[in-house]
Amino acid sequence: MSVAGLKKQFHKASQLLSEKISGAEGTKLDEDFMEMERKIEVTNKSVFDLLSKTTEYLQPNPASRAKLNMLNTVSKIRGQVKTTGYPQTEGLLGDCMLRYGHELGEDSVFGGALVEMGEAMRQMADVKDSLDINVKQNFIDPLQTLQDKDLKEITHHLKKLEGRRLDFDYKKKRQGKIPDEEVRQAVEKFEESKELAERSMFNFLENDVEQVTQLSALIEAAVDYHRQSSEILEELSGQLQRRISEASSRPKREFKPKSIRSSLETLDNSQHNGLSYSSSFKSTDIEINHTVNGKTPSPCVFTSHPADHITSVPLSWPESPTTNGFDHQTEMLDQPCCRSLYDFEPENEGELGFKEGDIIILTNQIDDNWYEGMIHGESGFFPINYVEVIVPLPQ
């Protein structure tokens, strides 16, 4: 910065200090200018809050939003074009209904209804995704551009005007000590900045119908979303009513209990590989215990038959497993690692799943909430609060 620039900064700081501490009054601008400046300030705050609250309206879960931002940031760092979508609550509910509906089967009235409703919820999740995209393109992005361009430019003009006002007031109070030419230049620059700031604010406020157009786009997107959702739900309601009517009109089945005695008789008469099964051992049955290699397996049962033929159930037990798991864990503890406190099921691409008690190698800390690590040859991201650090990452 030149000497003249440093001198001007000193003049501004001195005047500002004089106004703040001594209560000296600076040059007052006209009321029309002050009113426009107030409206611009309110508009700037409103746009900032609207951007934040609209995102919360579309994606209400703050944890999911933070996770989504982290995953998309990582995708950008890796150069991946594909981004992860927000997990819509309708889609999560639909997946739950579909899973249990398929488990119950098509012969279950409740199971079939769950499948139909699950598919409808998935359709509503797709419609909600379309709402997100529509609102972002036609409302959020234009407001963001308004904030980053028009309002930022006006703020720059107002800031420059305030600096030139301070310089002018400093020199005006010191007339006689400061050359008249410097005072005249300060007046001209002050007038120039005021005109630029005033014109930019006037043009912006005169064209605020553009912001009304953006609000209209938001409402149109919401109306379209609710219309499609209403159509899906009305169709689903009709399907469920038909299912209720069909279930009510079909003939009732009679309950026929099965006798336990008949089942036991059938079991007593059946044979498997020459071995006779019964609900209790007969008096001719012989129970023999063997001890092999110091182990006592389950009893070996010999059953007498009229032909004095003896059939034995072979003795077997699992071999004691041998593993080098201890050596492997010791090897892992020589590098940054952690132990999982809970099971973690990955929900998005790039996440790393594990079970409680697993040892995970740490490779990186993404932010305050997420680690990057490796287990069983797979790498990915997982929440910090799911693990306990054993060997920390190097600082």
In a domain, residue 185? The reply is yes
Q: Does residue 88 surpass a pLDDT of 60?
A: yes
In a domain, residue 254? The reply is no
Tens of pLDDT along 32-63? 999 999 999 999 999 999 999 999 999 888 88
Please check whether residues 301 and 166 belong to one and the same domain: no
Please check whether residues 309 and 335 belong to one and the same domain: no
Q: Does residue 117 surpass a pLDDT of 90?
A: yes
In a domain, residue 120? The reply is yes
Q: Does residue 270 surpass a pLDDT of 70?
A: no
Residue 117 in tokens: 């409703």
| Comparison of pLDDT for 380 and 289, the residue scoring more | 380
Contact in structure between 155 and 44 (CB atoms under 8 Å): yes
Q: Does residue 148 surpass a pLDDT of 70?
A: yes
**In this prediction, what percent of the chain has a pLDDT beyond 70?**
75
Q: Does residue 260 surpass a pLDDT of 60?
A: yes
Please check whether residues 122 and 190 belong to one and the same domain: yes
Residues 6+ apart with CB under 8 A from 385: 369
* β-pair type (311-312, 370-375): unpaired
Please check whether residues 287 and 178 belong to one and the same domain: no
Mean pLDDT of 13-20: 70
Please check whether residues 227 and 288 belong to one and the same domain: no
Measured in residues, the chain has a length of 395
Domain boundary among 266, 288, 314: 314
Please check whether residues 184 and 297 belong to one and the same domain: no
In a domain, residue 370? The reply is yes
Please check whether residues 361 and 214 belong to one and the same domain: no
309 DSSP β-pair partners: none
The helix (H) or strand (E) run that includes residue 33 is: helix 31-58
Tell me the pTM. Answer: 0.60
Please check whether residues 183 and 46 belong to one and the same domain: yes
Res 28: pLDDT: 86
Contact in structure between 58 and 135 (CB atoms under 8 Å): yes
First to last CA, the chain: 38
Give the number of domains in the chain: 3
| Comparison of pLDDT for 16 and 125, the residue scoring more | 125
User: How does residue 177 score in pLDDT terms, banded at 50, 70 and 90?
Assistant: confident
In a domain, residue 260? The reply is no
Mean pLDDT of 108-137: 95
CATH number for position 169: 1.20.1270.60
Strand ranges (E), the chain: 271-272, 275-276, 286-288, 300-303, 311-312, 337-340, 359-365, 370-375, 378-383, 387-391
Tens of pLDDT along 199-237? 999 999 999 999 999 999 999 999 999 999 999 999 999
| Mean residue pLDDT across the chain | 81
Closest listed residue to residue 29, CA positions, set 168, 130, 156: 168
In a domain, residue 73? The reply is yes
| Comparison of pLDDT for 277 and 64, the residue scoring more | 64
Tens of pLDDT along 338-377? 999 999 998 888 899 999 999 999 999 988 889 999 998 8
Highest mean pLDDT among 5-19, 35-49, 325-339: 35-49
* β-pair type (275-276, 271-272): antiparallel
| Comparison of pLDDT for 43 and 282, the residue scoring more | 43
| Comparison of pLDDT for 10 and 192, the residue scoring more | 192
In a domain, residue 267? The reply is no
Closest listed residue to residue 283, CA positions, set 264, 299, 304, 262: 304
| Comparison of pLDDT for 284 and 114, the residue scoring more | 114
* Residue entry with tokens 């028009």: 150
**Residue range of the domain that includes 140:** 3-248
Closest listed residue to residue 341, CA positions, set 390, 296, 272: 390
CATH number for position 379: 2.30.30.40
In a domain, residue 157? The reply is yes
Res 269: pLDDT: 60
Work out the widest C-alpha separation in the chain, in whole angstroms.
Answer: 138
Res 82: pLDDT: 64
CB-based burial, 226-244: b 16+ in 10 Å, e otherwise: eebbeebeeebeebeeeee
Tens of pLDDT along 287-311? 334 443 444 444 444 444 444 443 4
Distance CA 304, CA 311 (A): 8
Highest mean pLDDT among 181-190, 244-253, 326-335: 181-190
Please check whether residues 176 and 306 belong to one and the same domain: no
Please check whether residues 223 and 280 belong to one and the same domain: no
